[in-house]
Chains A and B, each alone.
Chain A
Amino acid sequence: MENINAENKRTRSQRESRPILAIVILVVGNVLLAIALAASVSIGASEIGFTMVWDAIFAFDTDSTAHQIIEEVRLPRALTGALVGASLAVSGSILQGITRNPLAAPSIMGITDGAAFSLAIIYSFIPTMAYSQIMFWSFIGAGLGTILVFGIGSIAKGGLTPVKLALAGIAVGALLRSLASGIAIYNDVAQNMSFWYAGGLAGSKWLSLQLLLPISGIGLLLALVLAHSITVLNLGDDVAKGLGQRTFVTKGLGVLIVMMLTGAAVSVAGAIGFIGLVIPHITRFLVGADYKWIIPCAAILGALLLVLADIGARMINPPFETPVGALTAVIGVPFFLYLARKGGA
C-alpha cells in the first residue's frame, strides 16, 4: 500500500526545536498551574478564601467544615484534573509520534473503547457494582483493547508499520464501540453511557487518586525516558533503524505507556476528548519536534487546560456541571485554529 505520509510535508520551522520557548512554557506553565489549582480548590458552591486553602493543606483542622470540603472534595478533584489532563496530553503526543499521523489520538487506539465496552457490560448486568470496582474493570477493559490493537498490528504481514498500528486501532475501536453501543441500547443504558463518554471530574475522590497517581506517575516518568527514542522514530522507521534503534521495542514501550496513562485517565474521568488530540499539536507548534521538550510541555499544558475547564464546568451553570470535555474544546479550538493557520503547514 502506498503510504505518503502527511508528516513528510511538515515545514522546516516545525522540524526545528525551540528549547527556550519550551523552558518558558515549563516555568510559566507550572506557576499558572499552581494558581489554577488553588483557584480550583477555592471556587465552588461555597467560596473559600486562599488563606483558608493554605491553612487546610498545611494546618488541617478537623472541626472546620471548610477544611473538610477542601480535604474531601476539592483537593482530590483538582489534583485528579491535573493528572488526567497531563496523562491524556502525553498519551496523545506519544501516539502521534509513533504513528506519525496527525489524526492519531488516545481515543482511536482501542483504549477508550475497551473501557467503554467494560462499562456497557457493568451498567447493563451488574449495575450495583462499587465505584472502585468499576474503575478497576474499566482499566482492565482499556488494557485489553490496547493489547488487541498492538497484537493485531504485530502479527500483521509486513510488520508493525505506523499505518498498520493506526488502522488496527481504528478497526478494534470501531468493533468494541459498536458492541458497547449495541449492548447499551439493548439494555436501555445508552444515556448513562453518554454521560461517561462526555467525561467529568465530579466523581473524583482520594480513591481515584490512589489508582491514578502511581500509574500515571510511572507512565509520565517512562514517557520522559522514552522521549529521545520517539524523536528519532518520528523521523521515520527507516531512519530510526539506520540509527540503530530497535523500532519494535520503542513502539511497544510507547503503546504500553499510552495504555497506562489513558487507561488510568479514562477509568477515573470518562472519555474526555480533545486534550489527547489537540494539546499535542499545540505543543508541537510551540516547541518544535523534539520530544524531550514536547512531553513535559504537553503534560503541563494538558493539566492546565483540564483544571481551568473544570473550574469553568462548575461555574457556568451551577449547581449543574457543564461537561468538561466540551469546555476543553471551547477553550482550545480557537487557539488551535489560529496555530493551524499560522503554522504554514
Chain B
Amino acid sequence: MKLSTYIKQKPLLFIGLLSISIVVLFFVSLQTGTAALSPLTAIQTLFGNGTEKDSLILFEFRLPRIVIAILVGAGLAVSGAILQAITKNEIAEPGIIGINAGAGLAVVLFIFFVKDIPFGFSSTYLLPVTALVGALTAAIAIYLFAWKDGISPVRLVLVGIAVNSGINALLIIFQLRMDPKDFDQAITWLSGSIWGADWTYVLAVLPWVILLIPLAILKASSLDILHNGDDIASGLGIHVERERGIFLLIAVGLAGASVSVAGNIAFLGLVSPHLVRRIIGPKHQMLIPASALMGALLLIVADMIGKNLMAPSEIPVGIVISALGAPYFIYLLIKTD
C-alpha cells in the first residue's frame, strides 16, 4: 500500500519501472523460442559477433517481431487513451471508431474473394494494406456520419455503434460462407496475432508511432481539458472542434497502423490506459507515455507466452492479452476507487 501511494506521487518513477521491465523482457524474449539461444549468445549476436545461423534467427525472426510488439502495443494503448478522453466514455476503445471492424471486413472479403494468390505473398504484403484501407474507410465513414456542425462525443459514440454493428453483420455473413481453410486464416487474423514478423512491417508502423505519440504527449494538456467538458474547454479558449478532430486523427492513425500488421487485438487499447490511470492518476501528460509503455509491455509478454506455451503451435496473442490483462484489471478494479 505504501509503495503504491509513493508511485502515485512519482509518475516518472513508474514510467522508469515500465521502461526497465520492457528492456529486460526484450532480452528475455530474444532468447526464447523454438530454437533457444543462451543469454550470452543472444547478446553477442545482437552486437554482431554471432554465427550466421544465430544472426538469421535473431535479426530476421525475433527482433522484428519484438519491435512490432512494442510499436503496436504502444499504438493501441495511446489510441485507447485518446478515445476515452475525447468521447468522455470510460469503456471507449479503438474498436468504437470502426478500426477493427473495418479492417476485419476488408481482410475477410480479401480472403473470401481472392483465392488464387499464393498464401505467403498475400499474407505478407497484401493483407496489411487491405486491412489499413478497410480501417481508414470505416473511420472516415464514422467521422462523416457523426459530423453535424462539429463532432459531439455522444454522437461519435452512437454513430460508432451503428457503423460497427453494420460492418459486423456483413462480417458474419461472409465468415459463415467461407471454406473451413479460409475461415481458419480469417479467424486467426480476427483473433489478433503478430504474424507480420518482418522488417517491412516495422517500417510500415514505425513512422506513425514515432510521429503521433510524441504529438499526443505534446498536446496532452488540451486532452485534459477536452476530457473535462466542452464548456470548460471553450471557456479556456481551446478550439474544441479542431482539437478533437486532431486527436481523432491521431487515434485513427495509430490504431489503423497497428491493426493492419497485428490484426484485431481486442482489449489492449481499452485496458492499458485504465491500468495506468489507476496507478498514476488521470493527467494525460504522464498518462499517455505510461499507457504507451504499458501497452508495449503487455503485448511483449503476451506474445512471448502465446509463442511458447503450446509451441510449436501458437496461441493468438489477442486471446493471451485478455486472459492475462483481465484478471489483473479485475484485481485493480477491486483494490482502487
Q: Give A contacts to B, CB under 8 Å.
A: 1-6, 9-10, 101-104, 108, 152, 155-158, 163-164, 166-168, 170-172, 174-175, 177-179, 181-182, 185-186, 190-191, 194-195, 197-198, 273-274, 277-278, 281, 322-323, 325-330, 332-333, 336-337, 340-341, 343, 345
Contact A323 B176 (CB under 8 A): yes
Quick one: given A327-B169, A340-B162, are A194 and B334 in contact (CB under 8 Å)?
Answer: no
Contact A174 B161 (CB under 8 A): no
CB contacts (< 8 Å) of B166 on chain A: these are 329-330, 333
CB contacts (< 8 Å) of A274 on chain B: these are 165, 169
CB contacts (< 8 Å) of B173 on chain A: these are 322-323, 326
Please tell me if B55 contacts chain A, counting CB pairs below 8 Å: no
Please tell me if B175 contacts chain A, counting CB pairs below 8 Å: yes
Give me 30 A-to-B residue pairs in the complex whose CB atoms sit less than 8 angstroms apart, sorted by A's number: A1-B90, A1-B337, A2-B282, A5-B88, A6-B87, A6-B89, A6-B154, A9-B154, A101-B90, A103-B91, A108-B91, A156-B333, A157-B337, A167-B91, A171-B329, A174-B267, A174-B326, A175-B327, A178-B318, A185-B316, A190-B184, A194-B176, A274-B169, A278-B162, A329-B165, A329-B168, A330-B166, A333-B165, A336-B161, A336-B165
Identify the 7 closest CB pairs spanning chains A and B, nearest first: A178-B322, A329-B169, A175-B326, A326-B169, A158-B337, A340-B158, A174-B322
Chain B binding surface SS class:
helix
CB contacts (< 8 Å) of A1 on chain B: these are 90, 277-278, 282, 336-337
Contact A277 B323 (CB under 8 A): no
Contact with A along B294-337 (1 / 0, CB 8 A): 00000000000000001000011011111101110110011111
Chain B residues with a Cβ closer than 8 Å to the other chain, count: 63
Contact A340 B159 (CB under 8 A): yes
Q: Give B contacts to A, CB under 8 Å.
A: 87-92, 96, 145, 148, 152-155, 157-159, 161-163, 165-166, 168-170, 172-173, 175-176, 180, 183-184, 187, 191, 227-229, 266-267, 270-271, 274, 277-278, 282, 310, 315-316, 318-323, 325-327, 329-330, 333-337
A281 to B330 alpha-carbon distance, docked (Å): 29
CB contacts (< 8 Å) of A322 on chain B: these are 173
CB contacts (< 8 Å) of A164 on chain B: these are 333
Q: Taking CB as reference atom, which chain A residue is nearest B277?
A: A1
User: What would 9 more interface pairs be, CB under 8 Å, given A166-B90, A190-B183, A341-B148?
Assistant: A5-B89, A6-B154, A6-B157, A101-B91, A167-B274, A174-B325, A277-B165, A325-B169, A337-B162
